Chain A
Amino acid sequence: MAGSKQHQGVDVGIQLINEIKQDAYDLILEAHNNQLECRASIEVRNLELSISPAELVTLLKSHDISEGVDLEQVAIFCTEAAQGGNPKKFLIAKGIEPVTGEDGWFDLLANTGKEETTFEEDEQGRVDFKSVQTFTNIEPGQIIGTIHPPGQGTPGKSITGKPLPAQEGKPVNLIAGDGVIISKDGTQAIAQKPGRVVFENRYLTIAEEFVVAGDVNLKVGNINFNGVVDIKGDVLDDFHISASKGINVTGSVGACQLESDGPIVIGSMAGMGLGTIRCSGILRAKSLNHVTVECWGDVIVTNEIRNSVVKATGRISVEQGLIAGGQAIALEGIEAKIFGTHAGTKTHLTSGIYFPETDRLQYLRTRSKSVVYQTKRIAETLVALRQKPLEKMRTALREAIEMRIDILTERQSNLEKEQEDLAAELATYKTEDHPTANPKINASSAVREGVIISLGETTEEVKMERSGPVSIIENSREGGLRFLTRSPLKISAGQLERDSLQAETEGSSEE
């Protein structure tokens, strides 16, 4: 190319490709934008001899610039030049910009509870406003999220066709916190313990506690959590709280259902005959009123238990308060300051009994009775139905009778099978040995009229108030009950009875 000169790069980021000084024109070719653009500038002195598109393309080719040449732009440049426009830094060729890879990202597969609640209508248009809970209960080993690696990106090409490498995307900035591990291949976040997912400030953890800062009401809804539930306020009526590891309620509880495989601690509970508590572990409360309790552990109440049915596989203790009305059934002893009321409210106390066994026996007997009754009714009904002259009846009535016969026949067969199973279980029913069984009741102040005490084979009603402090056990020699000087529950009824028998024997031998 006549008159061409080459200079080194002029400005930062810009590289001079070629400079041509001719009589007719001065042409500069530059690489801009890190070799991604070729821009041309021209000063034309003789319009008739300005550079042609073919010449310009040939020039570009000589510098290995061919693929990205924009022929349309070349034509426009040359036309402008030939018209004296002297275009400057005119883009005539482009490379392909490399595309940086997508950043890695984390796909959380569990709800954390921060999601908005959407209430769904059922087919009848009803909405359960207590189904508010949005977090997911997590089990150990559960995959809680997927880690997507960053993308490689797409390489580009310079104006001379040289490959331009792409930058890889950034990996996701995730920190596996307490209770979370990342799989060996780095693609999964896995829970190591039960609870709920907390994902804040890049930290992914499993929380074993679910804290409700205020009351459990329609905003919070029913709770079902694989961990400990801690409620700082009250629990209003008609809510259900279930927690695998424990429940704490600072305030009071209404007519609700509390269920836990761990201990439960509450303030007072007014169950209105509908409230229930089931727990494995200690139950602690300030007071219980009209509540049904099944506790695989001890029941410790500060003030009072009134008109409730309380069953414990440990002991029932209201050391500073009273138990009045309802039933108390414990395996390892019952103690209170006062039992019963001045009004003679019937209060049933049973100790030394493992309630799951007696409940099962009661169920078997009740169910067996019910099955016998139903079987008898079905037999009577089938006889009556089969006697009907079906062929003389209108279709709808005949079909109704035939359906009923079918249903009752099947039911009869199922009930007969059930009766066999019940009878078999009843025949082999026996209670297990419970070494901690302690048929003993302690009253530190009084046992009032109307209190009914069942210990061992003896059941007796207190006809006249007894003052405490007193320990009550069964009199195995003469029947009835012994009222002894109060001793701690840990001194078993068995030990007290042996001591009593020994004292009686020694007393009679002295005589």
Chain B
Amino acid sequence: MDDMELKQALRKMLQVELEAMEYYQQASRFMQDEGAIYHFNLLAQEELEHARTFHAVYPDDDLPPLDDLVRELPRDLSEQGLVDRELMARLTERHALQLAIHLEKEVAARLQTLLESIHSQAARTAIENNIESTLGHLELIRQDYQRLYGEVPSSGKIFPAE
């Protein structure tokens, strides 16, 4: 039972990381600002590395190889309305970092929600570690923002005015 919950939790976390990676990757395709593209490409790679760690600790061999899971990701989030290409084209580096902070917070919130439904100790530990890791990642992005703009990122509206 414990093992099953752990496997389910790891699969879920793997899915969350790969979805985040896919978002960053596809959003960067529509961006014009070089700085924004730079950050989003880096963040995409970091999410992939997070996914790789969960894949590596999965305690069974019923999980497809990571490359196959990446290949199966939807190829056009803009078609599904999940990436607004016009908005992405207008984003500056500053806005991109603000967006990334917002996204990482969302990932942490999703993981917290997942934690609430998990009973197995092993699974709880894995999720708690992931939440901690996500918050560490979030802190790194904040520090990046602070280094570049000399101020703490605001938690208000992040998108440029229409």
Contacts and interface: CB of A to CB of B under 8 A. Distances in A.
A374 B37 CA distance: 10
Q: Is the interface of A mostly helix, strand, loop or mixed?
A: helix
Contact of A400 (B19, B74, B139): B139
Nearest to A407: B45
A85 B38 CA distance: 103
Q: Is the interface of B mostly helix, strand, loop or mixed?
A: helix
Nearest to A370: B34
Contact of B15 (A124, A381, A403, A404): A124
Nearest to B39: A377
Given A384-B147, A403-B49, A377 B38 contact: yes
Nearest to A130: B79
Nearest to B53: A403
A403 B38 CA distance: 16
B95 interface: no
Interface in B1-52: 15, 19, 34-35, 38, 42, 45-46, 49
A403 B46 contact: yes
A126 interface: yes
A56 interface: no
A123 B64 CA distance: 11
B132 interface: yes
A404 B42 CA distance: 8
A238 to B, nearest CB: 7
Nearest to A396: B136
B145 to A, nearest CB: 12
B135 A396 contact: yes
Contacts of B15: 123-124
B118 to A, nearest CB: 20
Nearest to B22: A124
A397 interface: yes
Interface in A378-415: 381, 384, 394-401, 403-404, 407-408, 411
Contacts of B38: 373-374, 377
Contacts of B87: none
B74 A124 contact: yes
B74 A122 contact: yes
Contacts of A407: 42, 45-46, 49
Nearest to B85: A274
B24 to A, nearest CB: 13
A377 B35 contact: yes
Interface in B106-159: 132-133, 135-137, 139-140, 144, 147
A343 to B, nearest CB: 25
B61 interface: no
B74 A399 contact: no
Nearest to B45: A407
A384 B147 CA distance: 9
Interface of A: 122-124, 126, 238, 370, 373-374, 377, 381, 384, 394-401, 403-404, 407-408, 411
